[in-house]
């Protein structure tokens, strides 16, 4: 059989996607005539389809040695360079092909792909340096669609997933996308062990470390093994103190535990949530909110963390925020225990909170006269002014909410007409009750001028964020706390 006939047989098998069989016929043809470039390029294309990229590169190179001006083979070889992350080589080859055929649309399209990859490489490095790992993940994922067989990019993607606490996704990616050649790189094995450790799969992490040793992996795993072996006992020490209701001591212990491994975001998120429970038990809800915020910041996918923070918001009578957190927990894990009850409770509290008790907000009797109202407002405005409560983000947020309520209470009770409406059961600042015509919360800075003069604030607070007006909506607190079943420990479900 002639080499031409063998080539045609190989081409027929290629069309049937029987690439390995097609290669055999191309090789037989090359045994007859090794100077035919199309046999190498066809074999190279079969190798590319089989994801045997190293062999594909060699075959395309051989074809170009036989015919250095074949732009189709330049384009084909450049496409494999792209897949394997050799972008510099791909660009040089693509430029050469375009110099010979400047108007070839396929060559121009592939050059655009190369340029976009180079742009994304710069963006990726910038996002990593800026620690914007969610953005980095998006860019890296886009790059991997084109540069699909480059170990260095795969490693970078896994590390980004770890930074974003997407540990299950990272493990799935390693299992599905990391091939035999990649696994010769010791770092993939180490990242597998690290993912298992960060995900709390400690026994599997130990087995992975032992497997690495048996394979002769030279990566130093001594520190990781020590952490894997001791992390449970470290956490349990704090938990035991908590169970003894020694909350101050538990806070101290959890604070120490946070230094155990600063890079373990999922674990530290849980520890912060546990410390928040201690603060909540001590009625230190601002501190509990601070720790809850940090917990969720470390692990935005911690469904139970949103329920925990939601309960802190409930204690603080920030029912809209609580409802949002309970909904987020449900979105993350529809089957999480108790979420429907928490949502229903929050919804009920939100509705009740729409009817604000302005007298209670100012701490005055319903028969208070104008002087008593002004005196109470001045006292409360100074106490809860946001500038005076700016020690933490959480304390300022709470003060802002309280300050808005104080301002609205004074706006209503200091105006005889609005006060009369309110005393008859109609809140003039609630457009649903007042018919939409009198919803005006007043400007806090203008009201404060009556008491302090000048800019209106004794703390340098600038107006603009606390004025009323029909287009400004706030979430209001309200009376009451969540009901519990008799004898039920409200924290038992959350503690870990």
Structure tokens at 276: 């928040």
pLDDT in tens, 116-151: 999 999 999 999 999 999 999 999 999 999 999 999
Block residue for tokens 């039920």: 488
pLDDT at 353: 76
pLDDT at 455: 46
3-state secondary structure of 103: coil
pLDDT at 432: 65
Q: What is the torsional sign of CA 123, 125, 126, 132? A: positive
pLDDT in tens, 262-290: 999 999 999 999 999 999 999 999 999 99
CA distance 380 to 386: 12
CATH topology of domain 358-452: Helix Hairpins (1.10.287)
Query: For the residues 415-438, what does the mean pLDDT come to?
Result: 75
pLDDT at 179: 76
pLDDT in tens, 159-207: 999 999 999 999 999 999 887 666 677 899 999 999 999 999 999 999 9
- Burial class of residue 347, CB neighbours in 10 A (0-12, 13-18, 19+): middle
DSSP string, 179-246: -TTGGGSHHHHHHHHHHHHHTT-HHHHHHHHHHHHHTT--S--HHHHHHHHHHHHHHHHHHHHHHTT-
| Helix runs in 356-488, H state only | 358-362, 370-384, 393-413, 416-423, 431-434, 444-452
CA distance 6 to 24: 9
Specify whether the CB–CB gap between 280 and 314 falls below 8 A: no
The band of 433, judged by pLDDT with boundaries at 50, 70 and 90, is low
Asked if residue 496 has pLDDT above 60, the reply is no
Residue spans per domain, the chain: 227-353, 358-452
Asked if residue 112 has pLDDT above 70, the reply is yes
The CA R_g of the chain, rounded to the nearest whole Å, is: 33
pLDDT at 426: 83
The band of 492, judged by pLDDT with boundaries at 50, 70 and 90, is very low
> Is the CATH number 1.25.40.10 carried by domain 227-353?
yes
pLDDT at 395: 80
Task: Report the chain's mean pLDDT, rounded to a whole number.
Answer: 86
Task: Give CA angle at 311 (308, 315), nearest 5°.
Answer: 145
Q: What is the torsional sign of CA 174, 51, 219, 132? A: negative
Q: Among candidates 129, 137, 192, 125, which has minimal Cα distance to 163?
A: 137
Specify whether the CB–CB gap between 200 and 164 falls below 8 A: no
Structure tokens at 362: 């100012």
More confident residue, 11 or 474: 11
pLDDT at 142: 97
Sequence-ordered list of residues with C-beta below 8 angstroms from that of 260, at least 6 positions apart, any chain: 227, 231, 234, 267
DSSP string, 246-297: -HHHHHHHHHHHTTT-TT-HHHHHHHHHHHHHHHHHTT-HHHHHHHHHHHHH
pLDDT in tens, 435-487: 544 444 445 555 555 554 544 444 343 333 333 332 322 222 333 333 333 34
pLDDT in tens, 209-218: 999 998 888 8
CA distance 29 to 368: 105
The band of 47, judged by pLDDT with boundaries at 50, 70 and 90, is very high
pLDDT at 215: 85
pLDDT at 93: 98
pLDDT at 358: 84
CA distance 315 to 480: 9
Block residue for tokens 């005539």: 33
The band of 380, judged by pLDDT with boundaries at 50, 70 and 90, is confident
The angle that helices 247-257 and 265-281 make with each other, rounded to 10 degrees, is: 160
pLDDT in tens, 299-323: 999 999 999 999 999 999 889 999 9
CA distance 464 to 448: 13
More confident residue, 263 or 358: 263
pLDDT in tens, 63-95: 999 999 999 999 999 999 999 999 999 999 999
């Amino acid at each position: 059989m002639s080499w031409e006939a063998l080539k045609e047989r190989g081409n027929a098998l290629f069309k049937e996607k029987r690439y390995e069989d097609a290669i055999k016929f191309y090789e037989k043809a090359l045994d007859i005539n090794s100077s035919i470039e199309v046999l190498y390029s066809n074999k190279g294309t079969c190798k590319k389809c089989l994801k045997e990229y190293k062999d594909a590169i060699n075959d395309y190179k051989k074809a170009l040695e036989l015919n250095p001006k074949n732009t189709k083979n330049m384009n084909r070889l450049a496409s494999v360079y792209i897949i394997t992350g050799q972008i510099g080589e791909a660009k040089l080859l693509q430029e050469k092909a375009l110099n010979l055929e400047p108007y070839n649309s396929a060559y121009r399209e592939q050059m655009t792909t190369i340029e976009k990859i180079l742009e994304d490489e710069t963006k990726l490095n910038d996002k990593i340096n800026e620690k914007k790992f969610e953005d980095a993940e998006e860019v890296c994922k886009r790059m991997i669609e084109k540069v699909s067989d480059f170990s260095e990019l795969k490693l970078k993607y896994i590390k980004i997933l770890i930074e974003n606490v997407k540990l299950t996704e990272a493990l799935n990616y390693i299992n599905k996308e990391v091939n035999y050649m990649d696994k010769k790189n010791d770092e993939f094995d180490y990242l597998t062990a690290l993912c298992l450790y960060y995900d709390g799969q400690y026994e599997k992490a130990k087995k992975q470390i032992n497997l690495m040793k048996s394979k002769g992996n030279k990566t130093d795993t001594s520190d990781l093994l020590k952490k894997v072996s001791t992390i449970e006992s470290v956490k349990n020490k704090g938990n035991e103190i908590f169970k003894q209701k020694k909350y101050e001591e538990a806070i101290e212990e959890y604070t120490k535990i946070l230094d155990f491994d600063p890079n373990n975001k999922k674990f530290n998120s849980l520890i912060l949530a546990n410390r928040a429970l201690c603060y909540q038990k001590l009625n230190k809800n601002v501190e509990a909110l601070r720790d809850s915020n940090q917990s969720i910041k470390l692990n935005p996918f911690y469904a139970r963390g949103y329920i925990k923070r939601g309960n802190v918001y409930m204690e603080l009578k920030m029912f809209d925020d609580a409802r949002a957190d309970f909904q987020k927990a449900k979105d993350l894990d529809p089957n999480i225990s108790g979420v429907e009850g928490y949502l229903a409770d929050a919804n009920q509290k939100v509705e009740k909170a729409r009817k604000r008790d302005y007298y209670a907000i100012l701490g005055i009797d319903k028969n208070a006269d104008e002087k008593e109202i002004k005196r109470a407002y001045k006292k409360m405005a100074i106490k809860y002014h946001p500038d005076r409560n700016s020690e933490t983000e959480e304390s300022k947020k709470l003060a802002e909410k309280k300050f808005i309520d104080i301002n609205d209470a004074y706006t209503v009770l200091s105006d005889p007409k609005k006060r009369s409406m309110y005393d008859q059961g109609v809140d003039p600042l609630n457009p649903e009750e007042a018919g939409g015509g009198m919803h005006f919360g007043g400007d806090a800075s203008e009201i404060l001028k009556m008491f302090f003069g000048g800019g209106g604030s004794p703390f340098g607070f600038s107006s603009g964020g606390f004025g009323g007006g029909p287009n400004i909506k706030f979430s209001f607190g309200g009376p009451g706390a969540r009901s519990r079943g008799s004898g039920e420990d409200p924290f038992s479900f959350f503690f870990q």
